[in-house]
Every structure is written in structure tokens, then in C-alpha cells.
Structure 1
Amino acid sequence: MKRPVIVAIACVALALAGWMLLQSRRGPLLAGYQVQARPLVQTVVATGRVVAVSRAQVGSPVTGVVVERRVREGDVVAPGDVLAVLRADDLEAAVREAEAALAQLRQSTRPQAQAAQREAEARLAQASREVTRRRELFKRQLIARETLEQAVQAEAVARSTAEQARLAASALGAGNPNEAAARARVASARALLAKTTIRAEVAGTVLTRNAEPGDLVQPGRVLFEIARAGATEVLVPLDEKNLEVLAVGQPAMCIADAYPARPFPATVGFIAPSVDPQRGSVDVRLTVSPVPGFLRQDMTVSVNVETGRRARAIVAPNDAISALEGNRATVWRVAGGRVERREVTLGLRGLTQTEITDGLEAGDWILADAQAVVEDGDRVRVAASALPGGAADSATRKELPAKLD
């Protein structure tokens, strides 16, 4: 081999050895992120269902057989609308009996009592005149005392009879207890008959029906369920770990599984005061206004609740954060080619990234792997990796689909 070739090979080997020595002194090449300030929105993602603010259960207050059902599921009803009719032959007869008794009181019993009163008063007047006449005859000694006393006694009997007739007629007069009792019996019979016509007490939509013609129904059995008209809500069972970030009034965006291209807004209106111990979840109700026309009761809805927003936030991917304790954590910060363990304060947190409120500044470099095998002061080289998400990122807390009871 010629000498120039040997010299060239030696130079290349020396250069390679020098480069390798230089790289070893600069440290290993590790993936890292350059921290940036960017808009950040934190959301809680879950699945819920559409529910009415309240539902009315309609039953029958009396026992009877259904002869007619006038509504079905999905029908819109108003207060007073007839839902079903029961057979009421015996109750109709009771109404007629009570009405006949009232009519008899007005048309027969009362006139008879009044006639008896007039007759008794006429007899009393006659007896009084007879007493006056006999007193005159007695003064003139034309009749005996016994004859006068008989007239006085007859007058007393007539007076007593007239008083009894007056009391009887008064008891049967308009507005007196006998007539009031008769009216009450009529009203009671009519009210009982009216219960055989089952009506809607509230405006809304019929959800279920459990009555058909021929069915024997009894008090306590639910025949119809009506979703009250008005506000509509989305019921969402959320994991209790999200309670710290939830608040009434937070905005949300909902997407019905049946209409994925038609999202609609909602607002957190209620957070249950207790946690379901079986599921470890808390029920959250979202108020929907305005209510889209395509929504149906119990429809499945995907929900994104906005629990926090920052116009500009220092954001770090979660895989770069370790040693979490409350709102404190640590990252590997790279400065001047060396790493240092830096303690940071956390803000909005999500599944993929977290806000850093203290400990880092925009432009700082951190290692992507929070578990990298390095020590404080080690030399490293950083291979830049893009932060996840776009210019306006979101920190998302995801919920697994929950069982909706």
C-alpha cells in the first residue's frame, strides 16, 4: 500500500475518533420539547343521555276496565286531554240516584213541607180566633170555664204543630243543611264518575303507555308516563375525580350519536350533592337551550364540558412530567447542554398535556421522557420533537362510557 493512502486512512480514523470523543463529551442524543405559550382549553369528555326536567306518571284513582285508549307513545298532550276512559256503569247510576234525591227534595219534599207549614199556621189562626170568641162568651157567662179551657188547649196544640211545620220547612229551604248535604252527595258521585276519564294534568309528550282496552286497572298502577314540556337536560354520570374541575355554569358542547353533524350547546346546570358508591360517579345535568327539534328522550349524547380556558399558557406534554404530588411535579430541563431536575407548578391538567404555571418559561427545553436515565448536570443533546396538538390545543379529561340507569 502506498504511503499517501496509509496517511489518508490514518487521518480519517483520527478525525472519526476525535468526532466520537467530542460527541461523547456532549452527551447522548435525547428527544425533547421546546416549551411554548399557546391557547389552552381543558375539557371533560363523557357520554350521557337526554332526559326531561321531570316526568309525570299517570294512573287511575279508581278500579275499572279500560274501554278506550286515546293516546300512544310520542303524542303531545295538553292539560285536560283525555288519555283513557274506564267503564263506569255503576258510578253513572250513583250519580243519577244522587241527582234524583236532590230533585225530590226540591220538587216534592220541600213543597210538601211548605204546604204543611201553611196548613198548620191556618189552624193556629183558627184556634186563636176560637179562643178570643170563647173568652167573650165566658165574660158574659154564656159558656162554662171548661169550654174556654178546651179552646185554649186546642190553641196551644195548634201553635206547637205550626212551630214544628215551620222548622221542617226551614230545614228543607234553599241553602239549608239538608239541601247542602244532597248537593254534596251529587258532587261526590260526579267527582267519582269523572275519575273514570283519565286526563293529562301537565303538558308534554307521552313516553310510555301501559293500558289497552279491556285491561283491568287499579289505583297505584302507572298507565302513562309523560315528559313535561319545557326545558330539556342531558344527564351525564362523570367520574368523581373530575369534581375538582366542575362548576355550575360551565359551557358544554353536545353531539347526539344519531346526528353527529349537528352539535348543540349546553350549560352545566346541576351537580349532584352525592356520589354513587357503586359506580364512583356523580350525576351532572346539562341544560339545553334552545332545544334542537331532533332530540328524543333517552337519546345517547357525547358531551365535552369546558372546565378551563387560558388565552396563553405554558404547556408541557404529560410524558415529560413526573413525581406528581398535588399541583407540584418535576421535569428534566435542558440548559447549556446539561440537564437539571426542575420543580414546576401545575395548572389545567388533561390526558395528554398540562399547564405549567411556575418553573418554566416559553423557549425552555425539556426532555420528552420524564424517566430518562440521566442525572443532574449530565451533558445531553436534544432532538426536537413537536408538541402534540395545534396552535390552540386542548387538555382533555376522558370518561369511559358509563352505564346509564
Structure 2
Amino acid sequence: MGRVRYTSVLVILALALAVGVGVWRWWQGPQVQGYVLERRPLVQTVVATGRVVTTSRSQVGSEITGVVLERHVEEGDTVRPGDTLLVLRSDELAAQVREAEAALTELATSRRPQALVALERAESELAQARRETARRRTLAERSLLSTEALEQAEQAQTLAHNAFDAARLTATALAPSNVEETLLRERLAALQARLAKTVVRSEVAGTVLTRDAEPGDLVQPGQVLFTIALSGATEIRVPLDERNLALLALQQDAMAVADAYPQRPFLARVSFIAPSIDPQRGTVEVRLAVDPVPDFLRQDMTVSVNIETGRREQALAVPNDALDDTLDTGPWGQAQVLVVREGRVQRREVTLGLRGLAMSEVLDGLRVGDRVLANPTASLPEGSRVRFTQRAAPVSGSGEDAATRNELPVNFN
């Protein structure tokens, strides 16, 4: 009997304890999860995807029409000024050059000496005609010769003089460095220049990006045969959502990763921010200079970049999922959080600083050690009692293309 009574007492005590605990739990309120705020280093980055480009490209073509005989380079080949890219068939031009060289040789060895001989002969015949005219004039003055004979001598002298002038002009034209030789040399130089154009050479140092000619092709002036990326500065061009414009500044550092080499990140720096916005895409073009250029980097490679737009060595940071009712989408703004103070919920307005996909900086409204709810939209009346359970703070977000996100495309590390 005593044992039954003892058991009944124990059951009653257990029930009373359970009810007491239940009442205590009810009085304490529902269990909620949240974060305990602390100071931590924050780096704000704009995350985007772009492509590798060289600052300049050279398009190479032929200055003359011709048939491709040889092609000396492929895509990806490195060239220097003067390197042969392509050779055109040059049989006809080479024959014309040889013809012009032969004409110049003929001038020096045949036509010029003949002109000198003709000049000497014309000079001699003119002297003879003058002597004959003088002799006949003397005879005519003595009435020993008719006037008609004198006129014939004078006419012969005039003809001899004209022949001499013609021979002199011819000899002068054929003299060294005069008209005839100059014309022949200019014609030869023009033909040699056209012949030289049958060999298409690179005028710059760089890497061959494209080739659009094969042996046997007929090429014409204005046709692009090769595209060469000039050696030197390399850039990454990134279209960023215009909402990020307030965060950007020249000379900001960035970390870039090529999709083809994800284990080999390299440094870049903002070198250009476009003065206008693309109205169709709502983006602003940003260029990042790469120096030094990694040896694996190729033209038009896809590259993901994290542009560092802000840094705090010690910032009071709150996870973004604890924020509610953000009032604007700029780099600074207001938000609300649910704070647990002395076991009760309080709604608090805070001022934000650096913001990102994972964490945001709190400038005013909270302090170190404050406990904020992870669900700021929970249906808990102001002053409700809750039981707080701490949750680990989130890590940085994913590196998505900033131009494709609807939210502010900023990431914290």
C-alpha cells in the first residue's frame, strides 16, 4: 500500500514538473535563431564576368591584287615587325622589273653613247655648213657666185644648226641624272615597290588572332587577311550593372580568374569607366588593366573578376538575411532588424555602410554583442518573449555575373 502511494506521489511530482517546465517555456516564448554581432574584417567586391582584349588590333591586308602563293603564319603565332605573313604570285611583276632594269642598262651602255656620237656629228656638220656659207658669201660679194647658191648654203647651215640643237637636247635628256634616266629609275622603283608588296609583312609585334587567306586564293586591296593583337597592354572589359556605378572608382584593385584556368588567379586594376550607360542593357563598361600579363591569357577569354570597392579592417557586420525593409539600393541606406534584448523582441532601424550578398556593415543602430533574428519578417509582436539560439554567420556569396542579377551584385569576403 505504501509502495502504491509512493509511486502516485512520484507521478504527480513528474506531471507537476512537466507542467511547470511547459509553463516556463511558454512564458519564455518560442525558440528563434539569430546572430550575435561582432566586429570582423570586411572586403566589399563587385562580382562580374568579362572578356580579355588587347588595347589595339592591327588588320593586315594586301595593297595589290594577286594570287596567294605561300602563307607563313597560323592563328596564335607570335610575329615581329618585318616577319613575312604571306607571299603573292609575282611572275609578271618580276618580269616588268627585269624589263625596266634592262632599259636602264640600255640607256647607260647604248642610247647615251649614241646620243653623244650624234651630237659630235651634228656639231661637225654645223661647223662645216658655217664654213661653206662663209666661203660662198665671200664669192657672192665678188660676184663670182650666184645669189641662189648662197641661199642654198645658208639654208644648209640652218638645217645643220637645227640638227645640232636636236642632238644636243637628246644628249642632254640622256645624260646621267637627267630626264630620261630619272623616268626610267622612277619606273623601276615603282615596279620594285609593287614587287615588294607581293610579300605581305607584319608592321607590328603581336599575336595572330585570325587568318583569312589560303594558297590559291585571289586577294584584293581592302580585304582583311590577318588580324594581329598588338603586344603590350592587355585589358579585361566588363559590362557592369549601372547600379554599381556609385561603388566604382579608377585604380581599384581586382582579382581575376580565367574560366579556363580557375586555379591561377591574377591581379587587375580598374583603368577606365565609361562616361555613358548602354540604354538597352542598363550596363556601364569597365576596363581593367592587367600587368603583368599571365602567359596563359588569350584574346577573348572569359574571365570572372572581383573588383574591390570597399574595405574595413574592423566593421560591425550583420548578415543580410537579418535585414528587412531596405529603403534604397545605393551603397548607403536604411534597414530594419529584429533585436532580442532581455529575452524580448525589439524592432530597430539601422544605418548601413558597405553592403554585399552575404554581409553588410552597420554604421548606427546596433552594437557589438547585439543579438538579431535571422528572420526579420517573423510575425512576432513588439516585446514578445523569445528563446534565442545562435546561428553561425554566413560566408561570402557566389561569384555570379553582376549584369545578370536583380539584387545589388556585391560580394563580401
> TM-score, with normalisation over the residues of structure 1?
0.82
Residue 347 of structure 2 corresponds to residue 341 of structure 1: yes
Match of 2:119 in 1: 117
Give, in whole Å, the separation in 1 of the partners of 2:294 and 2:155: 92
Match of 1:74 in 2: 76
Give, in whole Å, the separation in 2 of the partners of 1:192 and 1:260: 50
Give, in whole Å, the separation in 1 of the partners of 2:41 and 2:288: 25
Give, in whole Å, the separation in 2 of the partners of 1:162 and 1:221: 56
Deviations 1:54-99 (A, max 9, x none): 3333333333332222223333222222222222222222222333
Alignment partner of 1:190: what SS? Answer: helix
1:211: Cα distance to partner?
A: 3.1
Match of 1:230 in 2: 232
Deviations 1:285-322 (A, max 9, x none): 33222222233344443433222211111211111111
Name which of structure 1's ranges 1-10 and 162-171 shifts more when overlaid on structure 2: 1-10
Task: Give yes or no for contact 2:337–2:350 (8 Å, CA) kept in 1.
Answer: yes
Aligned residue runs from structure 1 range 135-154, under 5 A: 151-154=153-156
* Match among 380, 388, 394 for residue 382 of structure 1: 388
Identity level (%):
57
Deviations 1:84-132 (A, max 9, x none): 2222222222222333333334433333333333333333344444555
Task: Give yes or no for contact 1:45–1:305 (8 Å, CA) kept in 2.
Answer: yes
Match of 1:364 in 2: 370
1:371: Cα distance to partner?
A: 0.6
Q: 1:69 to 1:147 in 2, by over 3 A?
A: same
Match of 1:250 in 2: 252
Give, in whole Å, the separation in 2 of the partners of 1:126 and 1:256: 95
* Match among 93, 102, 120 for residue 104 of structure 2: 102
Alignment partner of 2:325: what SS? Answer: strand
Match of 2:56 in 1: 54
Q: Which amino acid is 1:363 matched to?
A: G
Q: 1:253 to 1:130 in 2, by over 3 A?
A: same
Give, in whole Å, the separation in 2 of the partners of 1:358 and 1:180: 88
Q: Which amino acid is 1:343 matched to?
A: E
Name which of structure 1's ranges 307-316 and 221-230 shifts more when overlaid on structure 2: 221-230
Residue 321 of structure 2 corresponds to residue 295 of structure 1: no
Deviations 1:308-347 (A, max 9, x none): 2111112111111111122222222333433333222222
Match of 2:94 in 1: 92
1:398: Cα distance to partner?
A: 2.8
1:38: Cα distance to partner?
A: 1.0
Task: Give yes or no for contact 2:283–2:403 (8 Å, CA) kept in 1.
Answer: no
Task: Give yes or no for contact 2:240–2:403 (8 Å, CA) kept in 1.
Answer: no
Deviations 1:355-402 (A, max 9, x none): 22232222222221111112334343422222223xxxx576632798
Task: Give yes or no for contact 1:350–1:396 (8 Å, CA) kept in 2.
Answer: no
Match of 2:361 in 1: 355
Give, in whole Å, the separation in 2 of the partners of 1:28 and 1:175: 109
Q: Which amino acid is 1:88 matched to?
A: S
Name which of structure 1's ranges 126-135 and 364-373 shifts more when overlaid on structure 2: 126-135
1:147: Cα distance to partner?
A: 5.8
Alignment partner of 1:323: what SS? Answer: coil
Match of 1:217 in 2: 219
Give, in whole Å, the separation in 2 of the partners of 1:312 and 1:177: 86
Task: Give yes or no for contact 2:38–2:317 (8 Å, CA) kept in 1.
Answer: yes
Residue 312 of structure 2 corresponds to residue 306 of structure 1: no
Name which of structure 1's ranges 234-243 and 367-376 shifts more when overlaid on structure 2: 234-243
Alignment partner of 2:110: what SS? Answer: helix
Aligned residues: 398
Q: Which amino acid is 1:67 matched to?
A: L
Task: Give yes or no for contact 1:237–1:281 (8 Å, CA) kept in 2.
Answer: yes
Deviations 1:221-279 (A, max 9, x none): 43333332233333444444433323332222233344333322222333445555665
Match of 2:191 in 1: 189
Task: Give yes or no for contact 1:204–1:229 (8 Å, CA) kept in 2.
Answer: yes
Alignment partner of 1:322: what SS? Answer: coil
Aligned residue runs from structure 1 range 20-39, under 5 A: 20-39=22-41
Task: Give yes or no for contact 2:28–2:343 (8 Å, CA) kept in 1.
Answer: yes
Q: Which amino acid is 1:387 matched to?
A: A
Structure 1: where are the runs of 5+ without partners? none
Task: Give yes or no for contact 2:78–2:207 (8 Å, CA) kept in 1.
Answer: yes
* Match among 40, 43, 58 for residue 41 of structure 1: 43
Q: Which amino acid is 2:325 matched to?
A: A
> TM-score, with normalisation over the residues of structure 2?
0.81
Give, in whole Å, the separation in 1 of the partners of 2:171 and 2:366: 102
Give, in whole Å, the separation in 2 of the partners of 1:342 and 1:114: 112
Give, in whole Å, the separation in 2 of the partners of 1:185 and 1:84: 25
Give, in whole Å, the separation in 2 of the partners of 1:342 and 1:107: 107
